[in-house]
Every structure is written in structure tokens, then in C-alpha cells.
Amino acid sequence: MNVLIVYAHPEPQSFNGALKDLAVSELTILGHQIKVSDLYAMNFKAVADGGDFQQRQDERFLKYAVEQKHAVKTESFSRDIEEEQEKLVWADFVIFQFPIWWYSMPAILKGWFDRVYASGFIYTRENRYDSGGLKGRKAMLSVTTGTPKGAYMPNGMDGDIHEKILYHINHGMLYFSGMQPVEPFISWTPSHDEEERKMYLEAYKQRLHSLSEQPIISYHPKAHYDENHQLKKEYQ
């Protein structure tokens, strides 16, 4: 299948870099087609602004989502955005490789979502979540943490990794766009121990060999919600 790896770390020799390199080599061996968006190496523009459009619907007042819809219709996104959108359309599976910084993603990757995940391309008023623009695709987070697993358990000090921390990404970005997010691959505080890094690389290799069989995170489809966006009684 076609696999896009979106990778955000400033240091190529980092453990995040090693996980990205391993994914490229293993998935290539397995016969997949690979594209990598190495956001730091690309010097990817992180900040959404008026410069993201080759022409504007309204030059005097920037409503970013309105200009995104206009750019979809007129094919007038800046070239760097267009290239990322083309990769998403091409991909069957997208891996996001990044360190958890401040309980979310590095700004350069957030900027990728702000700019590439455009209104009219990813979603419309009617089509989002299971009917989002990227439906038919799967996605997986591969993240590293700076604090240990215990802190991210349901009663942990940092908050449940799935329900509290990664929810805004897995549900709010990936599932919102129509992709099916699979369970994340999490390397807990890998910077502290060489043996642990080896163990995680081996485990990640196994994960890469079974990408298609990974369980999908189960979220409700849009049809389970009523006209006030509330989960219908029968599904609660």
C-alpha cells in the first residue's frame, strides 16, 4: 500500500528519527510505496496566514476557512500545501512520527494540520468524521513521551494518554478527517535507556509488519448523534 510518514523532530539523530528511518526501511522491504514529509528538513511553514493562498476571495479581511474553501475551488493553495494534500490523497495509510511536547504535537506539525487540513478538502458542514474527505484511509500516531507510562494511566498525574491527551489528535484531527485511527505506538521515555530504545525499535518493527491488522480506535459514527450533536440515548 501507499504509506505517508509525516515526521516532526529537529534532530535527525534522535530516537524519533530512528523510528522514522526504521519505518522507511521496513515498509520498503515489505513492498510498500513510501513518501516522507520530514517537516523540519523541509523547513515547513508552520504559521497559517494570508500567504497560504495564491489568490484571495477577500483581500481585506482574512477568514482563513473561507479562503481555504475558495482555494479548493480555484486550485490556488500555495504550492507547499498543495503538495501535502496530494500526498494525503495518494496515501492508504499515514504514520505521524513525533515527540509529545506539552501534551500535544510540536508546533511545526500543528501548523501542518492548520494549513493542509483545509476546509472544503478535509471537511464540509455535512461531511466530517466517518464521512470526512480522507475516508478509506487509516492513520497511526507513533509518539515518544518525556514522562513514564504510569503518569499517563487513567489515574495518572499527566492524564489518561488515550482519553485525555491524544483524544484531540486521534479523534479531533485523524477521525474528523475521515481516516480510521489505529492504536498508537508509544515509546515511553526512550531517551533514558539504550536497552529500552532497542526494545522499542524491535517492537516497532513488529508493529510495522502488521499495520493492516492493527485494531482501529472505535469512535461513534456521525449517525449516532442527533441534530444537536448529542449522542443518541440508545448509544450512550
The site map against a second copy for 16-45 (x = CB under 8 A) is ------------------------x-----
Question: Dihedral through CA 172, CA 173, CA 176, CA 178, nearest 10?
Answer: -150
> What stretches of 8-139 show up as alpha helix (H) in DSSP?
15-29, 64-74, 79-90, 107-116
Min CB(208)–a second copy separation in Å? 26
CB nearer to a second copy: pick between 13 and 218: 13
Candidate segments 135-143, 166-174, 192-200, 207-215, binder of a second copy by CB under 8 A: 166-174
Residues in 173-202 that interact with a second copy by CB under 8 A: 173, 176, 191
Instruction: Name 139's bridge partners.
Output: 94, 181
Min CB(50)–a second copy separation in Å? 7
> What are the angstrom distances between the C-alpha of 57 and each of 73, 74, 100, 111?
11, 10, 37, 22
**Total residues found in the chain within this entry:** 236
Assign 143 to helix, strand or coil.
strand
> What are the angstrom distances between the C-alpha of 170 and each of 33, 45, 142, 163?
24, 23, 12, 10
CB nearer to a second copy: pick between 164 and 197: 164
Question: Where do contacts with a second copy occur on this chain (CB under 8 A)?
Answer: 10-11, 13-14, 40, 46-50, 61-65, 101-108, 110-111, 113-114, 117, 129, 146-148, 150-151, 153, 155-159, 163-165, 167-169, 171-173, 176, 191, 220, 222, 225, 228-231, 236
